[in-house]
């Protein structure tokens, strides 16, 4: 028996690295999936690559409530229900100390990573089946501080607050809400941050970061997807309100 047979999922940031690979895993486990992203070309390509009748897309800006309502309605129209919500869209902002951090970029990171996550839960919950599962993408940046990415750190800590509040509010309907907290993942978002940490020396910045991780490497997007699958499926049926760290030991030091 597949783990997500007959289940319907929404994945925001669905055209991105972690979102798309999670969609692939969900489809393999029998789910039907609505991909949501800002980038329509990337969404079309993702749907082509994933293939089949069980994946569709809805282009949306997760920070705008009318767009959020639209992707929720599109999911119910296409697949009839919602069982799982991977609340995953996010942006990294820029690399600058707080004193030099552009205020408009701070607002943008908060709009996407915080308001987007909150709006998603606000509009998905009324349409979600009892017994559903919501998984929020936070980060190790939602547990620890680190220099020069204050908007991202602030936003990913806020995701924990949204997760905890929603876990308590949704529990009477047996809907579970958790967050995932990866250390650096080997993909484009980290390439952008490495370039910000050490302009022109991204490879050296990567090596330095890897040396801070007890298991000695970045996470692979597939490894995050496997944790999300566990939280989405009934294998985690008594887990709610938790911060699931997946960081190769980074945060225990
Ligand atoms: N890459 C990492 O090292 C890492 C580590 C920890 C946590 N995360 C978190 O995981 C999540 C997924 O990141 P990823 O690594 O797959 O990066 P990614 O950049 O590949 O994916 C993010 C996706 O979100 C989409 N997006 C951005 N703004 C949007 C908006 N306003 N509305 C809708 N979609 C929007 C982007 O178009 C992109 O496809 C993010 O929340 C990120 O903060 C990433």
What is the CB neighbour count within 10 angstroms for residue 127?
Answer: 15
Q: Rounded to whole angstroms, how far apart are CA atoms 241 and 95?
A: 30
What length does the chain have?
253
- In this prediction, residue 190 carries a pLDDT of 95
User: DSSP string spanning 114-146?
Assistant: IIHHHHHHHHHGGGEEEEEEEEEE--GGGTS--
Residues 204 and 96 in one domain: no
Residues 28 and 98 in one domain: yes
- In this prediction, residue 140 carries a pLDDT of 98
Query: Is residue 128 domain-resident?
Result: yes
Does 22 contact ligand 1 (Cβ within 6 A)? Answer: no
Whole-model pTM over 0.95? yes
Q: Is 152 a catalytic residue?
A: yes
CA of 131 to the centre of ligand 1 (A): 26
Residues 87 and 113 in one domain: yes
Stretch 158-186: mean pLDDT, rounded? 98
Residues 12 and 50 in one domain: yes
Query: Is residue 144 domain-resident?
Result: yes
Structural domain including 192 reads 185-218
Closest CA relative to residue 92, chosen from 69, 116, 109, 111: 109
The ligand 1 atom nearest the CA atom of 62? 32
Query: Is residue 68 domain-resident?
Result: yes
Q: What is the mean pLDDT of the chain?
A: 98
CA of 19 to the centre of ligand 1 (A): 8
- Taking only the tens place, the pLDDT of each residue in 226-239 is 999 999 999 999 99
Pocket test for ligand 1, best of 89, 141, 247 (most atoms within 8 A of CB): 89
Query: Is residue 251 domain-resident?
Result: no
**With bands split at pLDDT 50, 70 and 90, how would you rate the model's confidence at 154?**
very high
Answer whether 76's CB lies under 8 Å from 127's CB.
yes
Query: In the chain, where do the E strands start and end?
Result: 8-12, 32-37, 55-59, 82-87, 128-137, 176-182, 243-246
Query: Is residue 159 domain-resident?
Result: yes
Q: Where are the alpha helices (DSSP H) in 127-220?
A: 150-170, 188-197, 202-211
Stretch 28-57: mean pLDDT, rounded? 97
Query: Is residue 151 domain-resident?
Result: yes
Q: Rounded to whole angstroms, how far apart are CA atoms 190 and 172?
A: 38
Residues 104 and 212 in one domain: no
CA of 15 to the centre of ligand 1 (A): 9
Stretch 43-53: mean pLDDT, rounded? 96
**With bands split at pLDDT 50, 70 and 90, how would you rate the model's confidence at 72?**
very high
Tell me how far the alpha carbon of residue 6 is from its chain's centroid.
Answer: 22
- In this prediction, residue 70 carries a pLDDT of 98
**With bands split at pLDDT 50, 70 and 90, how would you rate the model's confidence at 103?**
very high
Stretch 148-156: mean pLDDT, rounded? 98
Residues 76 and 155 in one domain: yes
**With bands split at pLDDT 50, 70 and 90, how would you rate the model's confidence at 137?**
very high
Q: How many domains does the chain have?
A: 2
Residues 38 and 125 in one domain: yes
Residues 173 and 235 in one domain: yes
Q: What percent of the chain has pLDDT over 70?
A: 100
Unique residue bearing structure tokens 């309605």: 73
Query: Is residue 149 domain-resident?
Result: yes
User: Could you tell me the CATH number of the domain that includes residue 108?
Assistant: 3.40.50.720
Residues 69 and 140 in one domain: yes
Q: For residue 198, is it left (φ>0), alpha (ψ between -120 and 50) or beta?
A: beta
């Amino acid at each position: 028996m597949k783990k997500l047979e007959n289940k319907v999922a929404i994945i925001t940031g669905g055209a991105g690295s972690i979102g798309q690979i999670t969609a692939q895993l969900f489809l393999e486990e029998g789910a039907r999936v609505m991909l949501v992203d800002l980038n329509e070309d990337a969404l079309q390509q993702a749907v082509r690559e994933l293939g089949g009748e069980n994946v569709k897309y809805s282009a949306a800006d997760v920070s705008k409530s009318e767009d959020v309502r639209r992707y929720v309605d599109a999911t119910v129209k296409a697949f009839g229900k919602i069982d799982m919500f991977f609340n995953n869209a996010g942006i990294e902002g820029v690399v600058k100390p707080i004193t030099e951090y552009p205020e408009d970029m701070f607002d943008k990171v908060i709009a996407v990573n915080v308001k987007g996550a909150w709006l998603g839960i606000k509009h998905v919950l009324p349409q979600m089946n009892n017994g559903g599962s919501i998984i929020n993408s936070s980060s190790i940046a939602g547990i620890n501080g680190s220099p020069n990415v204050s908007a991202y750190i602030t936003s990913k800590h806020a995701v924990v607050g949204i997760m905890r509040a929603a876990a308590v509010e949704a529990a009477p309907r047996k809907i579970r809400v958790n967050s995932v907290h990866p250390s650096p993942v080997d993909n484009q978002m980290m390439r952008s941050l490495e370039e910000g940490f050490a302009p022109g020396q991204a490879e050296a910045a990567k090596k330095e970061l890897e040396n801070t991780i007890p298991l000695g490497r970045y996470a692979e997007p597939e490894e995050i997807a496997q944790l999300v699958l566990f939280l989405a499926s009934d294998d985690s049926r008594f887990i709610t309100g938790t911060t699931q760290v997946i960081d190769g030991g980074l945060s225990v030091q």
